[in-house]
Amino acid sequence: MGLDRVGCARHRQRAAARRHRADDRSARTHQIVGKWFSPEWECRGRLNGAKVLRLLARARLVLAPFADGLTGRRSSVLAALSAGAPLLSSSGHLAAPALANGVVECAATLAEFVDAAQRWWRDGDWPGAREERLSCYHRVLDPERLDARLLQTVLGEHAEAAISDAPAAWLLRCRREC
């Protein structure tokens, strides 16, 4: 009986995924996306995390406009940065200054965003830029370093004494070097 329930649940999940899968037809007929849809676009549907990161690592440009600005809550942006992808975003009232650090270009207006996107697309990336973006990501946004910063903030001077294992102590040392 347990296997029947599992099989039934998997069937429902697959059926739901098929209904929500993006394809060329659904993109062309979508009331918003359809206005700008180009036959040159490739609609891949749902992808797992590894496939998304491989695509981002090859991306010529990632566009990430947000009305309230680029923040650390934008997991799509963090994924693009972790892959070293060229990223164009927007500034706004919630924008995080640490993210608008020269590696991520942030436009203040729609006209600036369009101009920057056209320039990026026309000129492409510069030599060493992807490595610079990856270095910035690891220096500023790497999850292990963020954990170390959080521990240091919460525990203050007691942070190192509270951590007994070597990797966490190493992270605290890295935090001081950043």
pLDDT, tens digit (0-9, with 9 covering 90-100), for 17-60: 555 556 777 778 888 878 888 878 777 777 888 999 999 998 88
Supply the pLDDT for residue 166. Answer: 45
pTM of the complete model: 0.62
Q: Spell out the domain ranges in the chain.
A: 1-46, 47-130, 142-177
Which DSSP string do the residues of 58-78 spell out, in sequence order?
H-S-EEE--TT---TT-HHHH
Under DSSP, the state recorded for 88 is E
Dihedral, CA atoms, 15, 20, 21, 27, nearest 10 degrees? 150
On whether the CB atoms of residues 95 and 73 are closer than 8 A, the answer is no
**Cα Rg, the chain, nearest whole Å:** 21
